[in-house]
Amino acid sequence: MSVSRRVLLQTAAVAGMARGAFAADSIKIGIPVALTGPLGGIGAQMRRACEFWAKQVNAKGGLLGRPIELIVEDTAANPATTVRKVQEMVERSGVRLITCIVASNEALAVVPKLAEWDTIFVSGDNGDGRLTGESLVPNFFRPNVSGPMGTRAVTLWLRDSPMKKFYGIGMDYAWGHNSMDVFESEAKRAGKEFLGAVFSPTGTKDFSTYITKIRQSGADGCYLVLAGDDNVAFLTQAKQYRLGEKVQLLTEQVDEMGINASGDASVGLIGGSRYPAALDNPDNKAFVAAWQAEYGRLPQMFEGDQYQSCVVMQAGIEKAGSIEAAKLRPALEGLVVTSVKGPITMRACDHQAEQPGFVVKVVKKDGMEHPVPEVIATYKADRVTPPCNQMVYTD
């Protein structure tokens, strides 16, 4: 049975609607997500959030009175496959709305074709600054936190910290360099000293020589722009070299998968979080409670962010009364949506959602199998969101 039909039946069972009624009447949302390959873990989280949201909405009668149908396809985070799968969704299944793409380079490959497909893409986790900067297209919307916003939250926190000198290590590709650039300029404007940075190739397994380099630099803190297996390997090995005792490790985003995989090695790590589950507001409390009931655990970072994006999509569709790009686009621009992170505004100028930034610290808690991220600072939207179409800040 195809994956999409499976989801369809689940939502049908919940909504108690007849199977035949769907095909013509449903609202189809394309989910071209990486389910296999190294990013499969993130993809699984994002898809889960979409399914959870769709189930909730369908249980209350659907969207605009129509059931939501998720068309899920595996892209394995290969941009060529992503483009092909979305093309198929558009041409074969009549999809006009997509979300839940995992990697920024997949997003960057898809974005130039949105106009040709007359399709709106609402990002769930794509953080590359250029998506709302030089690569912005009218059909792209980003309700989630961008990479520069994460870095900004961390550097704002550093302004009040006694640490003076910073070194950096990042993965040697677009995200690594961009994030490091933002950190460098922000740290310097905070009056700190930036000693330099080193970039490791994707897939580096042995970080011993990088750890030695960081030690040599004499820095108080080290900014990490690492993800996935590289991130886990670095944290694990850094712990073995007792690096954390000498140098405070900082990072752009702290996500639970990395913590779970590196265990105690990530204790003491400080960084940005796109969605901390412990946020205290009514929407989040309801979300977390429902999530716990469904999955028996707290929602993780990518799940929360993707869920917020789904809620934004929903608000836009309800306001527009349609999923057609021509109507949905203006409906989303300027829209204020209240969800798990409180009220956020979908800016018209660059389609980025203005929202608060959070800094967390990884701590060990009794009774929890893995360490958890604890919020240590919150910054308001206007401090963390960059000016329109920009990736740099001015204050």
Q: Return d(Cα 145, Cα 308) in angstroms, integer.
A: 11
Q: Which is nearer to another protein, 41 or 356 (CB)?
A: 41
The residue (of 234 and 307) whose beta carbon lies closer to another protein is 234
Residue type, 66: R
Min dist. Cβ of residue 212 to another protein (A): 6
Q: How far is the CB of 372 from another protein (least distance, A)?
A: 15
Q: Which helix (H) or strand (E) holds 336?
A: strand 336-339
Q: How many CB atoms lie within 10 A of CB 360?
A: 23
- Output the smallest distance, CB 327 to another protein, in A: 24
User: Which residues, numbered 56-95, are part of the site for another protein (CB under 8 A)?
Assistant: 73-74, 78-80, 83-84, 87-88, 91-92
Residue choice 29, 33, 35, 219 for contact with another protein (CB under 8 A): 35
Instruction: State the nearest-atom distance from the C-beta of 74 to another protein, in Å.
Output: 5
Which residues within the stretch 152-191 sit at the binding site for another protein (CB under 8 A)? 172-174
Determine the Cα angle at 311 with ends 310 and 314, to 5°. 90
Contact string 347-366 vs another protein (x = CB under 8 A): --------------------
Stretch that binds another protein, among 146-154, 225-233, 344-352, 360-368 (CB under 8 A): 225-233
Q: Please identify, using beta-carbon distances, which residue of 9 and 21 lies nearer to another protein.
A: 9
State the pairing for strand pair 270-273/248-251.
Answer: parallel
Q: Taken in order 202, 206, 211, 212, is the CA torsion positive or negative?
A: negative
Q: How far is the CB of 331 from another protein (least distance, A)?
A: 26
If you search the block for the tokens 């979409």, which residue do you land on? 50
- Contacts of 248 by beta carbon, 8 Å cutoff, 6+ apart: 163, 220, 221, 222, 268, 270
Size of the site for another protein (CB under 8 A): 63
Q: Helices in the chain by DSSP H: which ranges?
A: 3-15, 22-25, 40-59, 79-93, 104-110, 114-117, 147-159, 174-189, 208-217, 228-240, 256-262, 282-295, 301-320, 325-332, 381-384
Query: What region, left, alpha or beta, does residue 173 occupy, with left being phi > 0 and alpha being psi -120 to 50 degrees?
Result: beta
User: Cα torsion for 359, 364, 365, 369, to the nearest 10°?
Assistant: 110
Q: Binder to another protein among 216, 296, 366, 382 (CB under 8 A)? A: 216
**Which residues in the 186-215 window bind another protein by CB under 8 A?**
198-206, 208-210, 212-213, 215
Task: Return the residues of window 39-58 that contact another protein according to CB under 8 A.
Answer: 40-41, 44
Residues within window 232-271 making contact with another protein, judged by CB under 8 A: 232-233, 236-237, 240-242, 257, 260-263
Nearer to another protein, 263 or 342 (CB): 263
Closest CB to another protein among residues 89, 122: 89
Among the residue ranges 106-114, 277-285, 321-329, 342-350, the one whose residues contact another protein (CB under 8 A):
106-114
Phi, psi of 245 (to 5 degrees): -75, -25
Given the structure tokens 């993965």, which residue do they identify?
171
Binding site for another protein (CB under 8 A): 1-3, 35-38, 40-41, 44, 73-74, 78-80, 83-84, 87-88, 91-92, 104-105, 108-109, 111-113, 128, 135, 172-174, 198-206, 208-210, 212-213, 215-216, 228-229, 232-233, 236-237, 240-242, 257, 260-263
